[in-house]
Amino acid sequence: MPNDFDWLPDLVFYDTYADWDKYLDALYAFYKTDFLDSKPKFRDKDISVKRLPLYQDKESNFWHLIQEAYETKREEDRIPDFRRCERIRWPRPVIENENNPVILVWENKRYSRKGIEHNICLWLKEKEYLVILRKRKHYILLWTAYPVTNDHQKNKLQKEYDTYK
């Protein structure tokens, strides 16, 4: 029986590079390959990334994939999250495998400064990983992705998914 997760790339560990700058360059190279050099699609719409504000010549969206923002939205104040970093290669295959039964997919609404935002959630529940896409009129925006390890958060996501279905 094949592994249900054959399509998921290996984690990218810091120990392989043993230097933050080299690791950051490698993470960015994966991100660039997956989202800048080519355009994945979700349900026939192009996936775009949030580019601005640039920080250290890297797109805002990249930092959202590898860092946690506890109290701030400013890129320079965000803290690297090694669990996010290790999974830098996961967002694109999760998006491209949305029809795989191991991925729970639903839509939700969130309030922002701009008003109501419509999101698409792709939860790889068994691997404790969530990808958030934001709907736009003519494209889909990769918003963020992160591990979901807190039981309260898992329960909240499960309830939201069940309500949607």
- The tens digit of pLDDT for each residue in 96-148 reads 999 999 999 999 888 877 778 899 999 999 999 999 999 998 999 999 999 99
Please give the Cα distance from 38 to 47 (Å, whole number).
10
Query: Which residue carries 């898992």 as its tokens?
Result: 154
Please give the Cα distance from 86 to 132 (Å, whole number).
17
Classify residue 87: in a domain, yes or no: yes
Classify residue 75: in a domain, yes or no: yes
Classify residue 130: in a domain, yes or no: yes
Please give the Cα distance from 64 to 78 (Å, whole number).
9
Residue 73 has a pLDDT of: 57
pLDDT band at 1 (very low <50, low <70, confident <90, very high): very low
Please give the Cα distance from 44 to 19 (Å, whole number).
39
Please give the Cα distance from 97 to 42 (Å, whole number).
10
Classify residue 109: in a domain, yes or no: yes
Quote the number of domains for the chain: 1
Give me the domain span that covers residue 129: 14-164
> pLDDT by residue (tens digit) across 2-17?
568 999 999 999 999 9
> pLDDT by residue (tens digit) across 78-87?
678 899 999 9
Classify residue 1: in a domain, yes or no: no
